Amino acid sequence: MRDPYLPNRFRKPVHDLWLKIMIMRERHLKEKTLVIILSLIVGIVAGLAAMLLKWLIHFISGSLTVFVNVDEGNYLYIIYPCIGILLACWYVRYVVKDNISHGVTRVLYSISQNKSRLKPHNMYTSLVASSITIGFGGSVGAEGPIVYTGAAIGSNLGQAFRLSPRVLMILVGCGAAAGIAGIFKAPIAGMLFTLEVLMLDLTTVTVMPLLISSITAASVAYIFTGYDVEFLFIQSEPFVVERLPFFIALGIFCGLVSLYFTRVMNMMENFFKKYLHKQWQKTAVGGVILASLIFLFPPLYGEGYSSINSLLNGDPGSIVDGSIFYADRGNVWFIIVYIGLIIALKGFATSATNGGGGVGGTFAPSLYVGCMTGFFFAFLLNHLGFGMELSVKNFALMGMAGVMSGVMHAPLMGIFLTAEMTGGYELFLPLLVVSTLSYGTIKIFEPYSIYTMRLARRGELLTHHKDKAVLTLMKMNSVIETDFLSVTPDMNLRQMVDTISKSCRNLFPVLDSENHLMGIVLLDDIRNIMFRPDLYKRLYVSRFMTSVSTKLRTTDSMEKVMKTFDDTGAWNLPVVDEENHYVGFVSKSKIFNSYRRVLRHYSED
């Protein structure tokens, strides 16, 4: 284990010491025991990282917003977000020199395609970039970066002990769970995040490390910040069965808002990728959009947790504090329109932050939009006069769970996270109703969450579906066989027989001078003529070769490969590259052997 930052004279002693530790560990410590110990360490370190990230964000944000006036518009809101995006972009491009955006998606990719290996710099670079982005007003959340950070801590700790990809996957899940548990003080939600969003299977091997990491990280958060919940919520109005139709309506409404938020994020991401090719263009456009939105709607500044606290405490007028609309804080219908516009524009602010070069997640924005949605729903109905006064606080809480469940396709995590963050356990049944209906509504239109849809389109997503998960973990290049002897169309039967005598295969690809596959020769098809010397110089390969109707490509996913085998009924299929050059063959037997090996490797319990 070499450290490039150590002087040469220190590298060998450190390397030798680590080898001795590794040998002692293998002799005296079982792997399961080691995983338990490492999950505890991951929980502690990830919990400390979460506390550091929260402190950095609050320190930067508090230092900048101390000059903001509550009773008028503030032009500082135009300056701060642009500076934040510019600094974060510069840091990522010239210091990190790696793409660290979309943290949760990158964790999912590392699990499915990179054997759960994350780079060492991922343990701290997201913390720095996201604290700058959010502290200066970027309308994103810190949860994506802390998940990325925690997962990298687990991955690199496991790599240091030379653990297998199966165990690395567990430690990556432990780090992600610890990050969520630490930043929200929500251990159950942390574990459920790993199961529902990262889609790790809950087995006797995984449950204990995940629990240990989550509980440890939450305990670290309690030690540093006390036992208060993340959002202050006082239950003053009990659950009433007569309001159940309104809960059902809110659940469907949250599902539609989740769909809208997801579509806006995808649309804006495609806009930045398709039309803005240079980084300075992305930074300029993203900065202008974000600064304009925050100037008009100050609640879009940063994570927006102060606005959530205000709505959970029934104070809608504070939503216009610091804006040019402060004089209208007593106008009920203006407040309703203002909150509705915030719901509609939050996705644009979040995507402009990330598209412009900022670093942050969509976790907090979904919470924020959910709170606004629930409050808007109840506040509007109350003033339309439906004959029943709805609790705006309760509906704001349920909206948080509903939109988060829809955007992330994680209803259980949405329910428990909302309850743990606010202490609103007395509303457990309404939370269940709203979250389930929101999730069911968006599933009709979007089969994948905002985190998984990019990987699902490329066939790189690991899911709870065991067959698909194993196929995702398999790599195309690991099942391609290249020991087939090739022939050319102008070879005669004599030369064909000579080639057969040197081969252990009964299939021969026919290639032209540019290595393009023209067809195949099957041994069974020429068995009746290969021992007739009178035909050796009269028959040529071009006459008895068979054309190939189906070809695989080196870029095809294993799921597509298996579907092609099922559709064609073939036992062997040729593989070509992007330029249509012959590469080799894939056989069902090779795939089945690899499938069984991967299944055994990742399913040990």
Say how far residue 91 (Cα) sits from the centre of its chain: 22
Task: Tell whether 496 and 598 lie within a shared domain.
Answer: yes
Which DSSP category does 517 fall into? E
**Total structural domains in the chain?**
3
pLDDT of residue 597: 62
pLDDT in tens, 143-160: 889 999 999 999 999 888
pLDDT at 211 over 80: yes
In a domain? residue 286: yes
Task: Tell whether 450 and 527 lie within a shared domain.
Answer: no
Q: What is the mean pLDDT of residues 117-131?
A: 91
Say how far residue 401 (Cα) sits from the centre of its chain: 19
In a domain? residue 3: no
Task: Tell whether 278 and 210 lie within a shared domain.
Answer: no
Contacts of 540 (CB under 8 A, 6+ apart): 489, 490, 491, 492, 493
Tell me the pLDDT band of 264, cut-offs 50, 70 and 90.
Answer: very high
Tell me the pLDDT band of 471, cut-offs 50, 70 and 90.
Answer: low
Q: What is the mean pLDDT of residues 249-263?
A: 95
How far, in Å, are 103, 169, 540, 598, 602 from residue 44 at the CA level? 20, 18, 72, 32, 26
Most confident of 108-122, 188-202, 243-257: 243-257
Give me the domain span that covers residue 19.
8-225
**Higher-confidence position of 583 and 205:** 583
Task: Tell whether 53 and 164 lie within a shared domain.
Answer: yes
pLDDT of residue 193: 87
pLDDT of residue 541: 83
Asked which of 172-181, 515-524, 594-603 is least confident by mean pLDDT, the reply is 594-603
Q: What is the mean pLDDT of residues 549-575?
A: 80
What's the sign of the alpha-carbon dihedral 257, 262, 263, 269?
Answer: positive
pLDDT of residue 80: 92
pLDDT in tens, 3-52: 444 455 545 565 566 666 666 766 667 778 888 999 999 999 999 999 99
Q: Which two tokens stand for residue 569?
A: 């009924």
Last residue of a domain, one of 431, 449, 467: 467
pLDDT at 235 over 80: no
pLDDT of residue 512: 87
pLDDT of residue 227: 80
Residue 340 is part of a domain; what is its CATH number?
Answer: 1.10.3080.10
Task: Tell whether 203 and 137 lie within a shared domain.
Answer: yes
Task: Tell whether 431 and 514 lie within a shared domain.
Answer: no
pLDDT of residue 312: 83
3-state helix, strand, coil in the chain (%, to 5): 65, 5, 30
Query: What b/e readout covers 443-469, taking b as 16+ CB neighbours within 10 angstroms?
Result: eeebebbbbbbbbeeebbbbeeeeebb
pLDDT of residue 250: 95
In a domain? residue 231: no
Task: Tell whether 340 and 478 lie within a shared domain.
Answer: no
pLDDT of residue 464: 46
**Higher-confidence position of 282 and 385:** 282
> Mean pLDDT of all residues in the chain?
84
Asked which of 113-117, 429-433, 494-498, 597-601 is least confident by mean pLDDT, the reply is 597-601
pLDDT in tens, 348-375: 999 999 999 889 888 889 999 999 999 9
**Higher-confidence position of 218 and 230:** 218
In a domain? residue 234: no
In a domain? residue 22: yes
Task: Tell whether 457 and 476 lie within a shared domain.
Answer: no
In a domain? residue 557: yes
Task: Tell whether 460 and 476 lie within a shared domain.
Answer: no
pLDDT at 573 over 80: yes
Asked which of 1-15, 309-323, 390-404, 574-588 is least confident by mean pLDDT, the reply is 1-15
Task: Tell whether 421 and 509 lie within a shared domain.
Answer: no
pLDDT of residue 1: 42
Which DSSP category does 586 fall into? E
Asked which of 42-51, 406-415, 460-469 is least confident by mean pLDDT, the reply is 460-469
25 DSSP β-pair partners: none
Say how far residue 110 (Cα) sits from the centre of its chain: 10
Most confident of 17-31, 168-182, 412-426, 554-568: 168-182
Tell me the pLDDT band of 325, cut-offs 50, 70 and 90.
Answer: confident
Q: How far apart are CA 581 and CA 590, in angstroms?
A: 22
Q: What is the mean pLDDT of residues 476-502?
A: 85
Task: Tell whether 34 and 161 lie within a shared domain.
Answer: yes
Q: What is the mean pLDDT of residues 90-119?
A: 83
pLDDT in tens, 527-555: 888 778 888 788 888 888 888 878 888 87
Task: Tell whether 437 and 520 lie within a shared domain.
Answer: no
Q: How far apart are CA 329 and CA 280, in angstroms?
A: 38
pLDDT in tens, 134-146: 999 999 988 889 9
pLDDT at 340 over 80: yes
Percentage of the chain modeled with pLDDT above 90: 35
How far, in Å, are 235, 244, 284, 396, 421 from residue 427 at the CA level? 9, 12, 44, 12, 13
pLDDT of residue 596: 62
In a domain? residue 260: yes
